[in-house]
Amino acid sequence: MVAIIGAGPVGNHAAAQLCKRGFTVDVYEEHAVIGKPVQCTGITTFFLNNLMKPKDEFVVNRISRTKVFAPDGSSVEIALPKNYIVDRTKFDAYLAAVAQSEGANYHSHHRFIRSEKRDNNYRLYFANGKEVVTDHLIGADGPLSAVAKSNGMFGQRKFIIGHQARVKIPCEEDLVEFFIDEGYFGWSVPENSKIARLGICSLDKAQHYFDKLYQMRKGKILEWQSGIIPLYDPNVVTEKDSVYLVGDAATQVKASTLGGIIPGMMAAEELARALAEGKSYERLWRKRIGFALWTHLMIHKIMLQRFKEKDYNKLVRLVRQPRITTLISTRDREFPSLLLAKMALLEPRFLQFIRFLF
Ligand SMILES: Cc1cc2nc3c(=O)[nH]c(=O)nc-3n(C[C@H](O)[C@H](O)[C@H](O)COP(=O)(O)OP(=O)(O)OC[C@H]3O[C@@H](n4cnc5c(N)ncnc54)[C@H](O)[C@@H]3O)c2cc1C
């Protein structure tokens, strides 16, 4: 028996994968409705096609261009391999329905509190008074994972604030705008030509940076969708006896773009494989995405933590060269190391930014 805590995209994908491999799976979710509240922009790269078929029932928009703005107002436009903008409530519900069709049992209103290890299994305690015994316990319960805390696996993880609103504002339907500046990274992601998801991420002063972005893209705020995002921590232990962490609970987020949906789903697949084949989950997911997540972390450290305004301006100037934009437009950003190497070969001046790592 497998108990999964959390019915987010990663918990749901893990549930479907485990059911397919013959496990009996129960998913416990604290909220009444899967996918609510929304705390996400919902961009996924074209790589989503490798994990599932993007369906019109949850894809609200498709993006084929991005424009990146430097602090001095200069910008660079780049064609993209298609990116999908998903409605997170519908996306999460769709993945849960897939898992249910594979045989997973869902339990809403079940907030996991703690677990106790017995000889060969775990007793789980929920806020509603229910107690459950399971052989395997999976924490897919997001950045503040109670499963991680209860099992001494939380580590020294750090968080970024994601402050976002849905805003009524005229926008170009197939264009994502990014704003890179000292202290924050902002975005305007269109749902359609009238509504955009406008947000920033930063280590602090989130409202201040959001206001700065809002001055540039002012509209009518319809809804706030803010949350916290774990910074990838290579030292977090994700497997301990029969307890496993996956997705945000395991900090498996691309620290440069703060996308956690796709890496989390990839790790969920490795978890199902590990349990089915009796292999080490820790080893499998690190082999598949560990180096990519580490590379994103280095980009984050250089850009969000060290860059000054003049460095962002310089970066945009260098990227504006057609040979660089053409290169970027052909690559997926899930696995950035090859792209970075090719960029440095084409334009060695990119290497000057490596000094910020030291
Ligand atoms: C503002 C913002 C914008 C973002 N934009 C993007 C983006 O564009 N693209 C992208 O890929 N990622 C984005 N992310 C990150 C993305 O939201 C996460 O990486 C992704 O949701 C991780 O999925 P998950 O299933 O691991 O965790 P979650 O989606 O957090 O799901 C965890 C689930 O566990 C449940 N839960 C939590 N605690 C308990 C408990 N104790 N008991 C029972 N259930 C519990 C929660 O209710 C939730 O349903 C963004 C995040 C923020 C904050």
Q: Which atom of ligand 1 is nearest to the CA of 145?
A: 38
Q: Which residues line ligand 1 (CB under 6 A)?
A: 5-11, 28-31, 39-44, 110-112, 140-142, 146, 162, 164, 199, 226-227, 229, 247-249, 253, 258-262, 264
Q: How far is the CA of 187 from the centre of ligand 1 (A)?
A: 18
Q: Which atom of ligand 1 is nearest to the CA of 189?
A: 8
Is 36 strand, coil or helix?
A: coil
- Closest residue by CA, ligand 1 atom 27: 142
Tokens representing residue 270 in the block: 């490795």
Is 331 inside any structural domain?
A: no
Distance (Å, rounded) from C-alpha 327 to C-alpha 343?
8
How many folded domains does the chain comprise? 1
Supply the pLDDT for residue 358.
Answer: 73
**Mean predicted lDDT score pLDDT of the chain:** 96
Phi, psi (5° rounding) for residue 223?
Answer: -170, 140
Is 76 inside any structural domain?
A: yes
Q: How far is the CA of 265 from the centre of ligand 1 (A)?
A: 12
Is 358 inside any structural domain?
A: no
Q: How far is the CA of 28 from the centre of ligand 1 (A)?
A: 15
Q: How far is the CA of 7 from the centre of ligand 1 (A)?
A: 9
Is 312 inside any structural domain?
A: no
Top mutation candidate among 27, 41, 132, 271 for ligand 1, by most atoms within 8 Å of CB: 41
Is 65 inside any structural domain?
A: yes
Supply the pLDDT for residue 152.
Answer: 97
Is 326 inside any structural domain?
A: no
What is the SS3 string spanning 129-173?
Answer: CCEEEECEEEECCCCCCHHHHHCCCCCCCCEEEEEEEEEECCCCC
Distance (Å, rounded) from C-alpha 289 to C-alpha 214?
34
Residue type for position 245: L
Is 341 inside any structural domain?
A: no
Q: Which residue has the tokens 């897939």?
A: 98
Supply the pLDDT for residue 356.
Answer: 81
Tokens representing residue 289 in the block: 């995405």
pLDDT in tens, 55-65: 999 999 999 99
Q: 123 pairs with which residues across the strands? A: 116, 133
Domain hosting residue 44, numbered range: 2-298
Tokens representing residue 295 in the block: 């590379």
The answer, as to whether pTM is greater than 0.75, is yes
Distance (Å, rounded) from C-alpha 80 to C-alpha 219?
26
pLDDT in tens, 111-143: 999 999 998 899 999 999 999 999 999 999 999
Is 307 inside any structural domain?
A: no
CATH code of the domain covering residue 103: 3.50.50.60
pLDDT in tens, 324-344: 999 999 888 889 998 999 999
Section 280-298 average pLDDT = 97
Q: How far is the CA of 248 from the centre of ligand 1 (A)?
A: 6
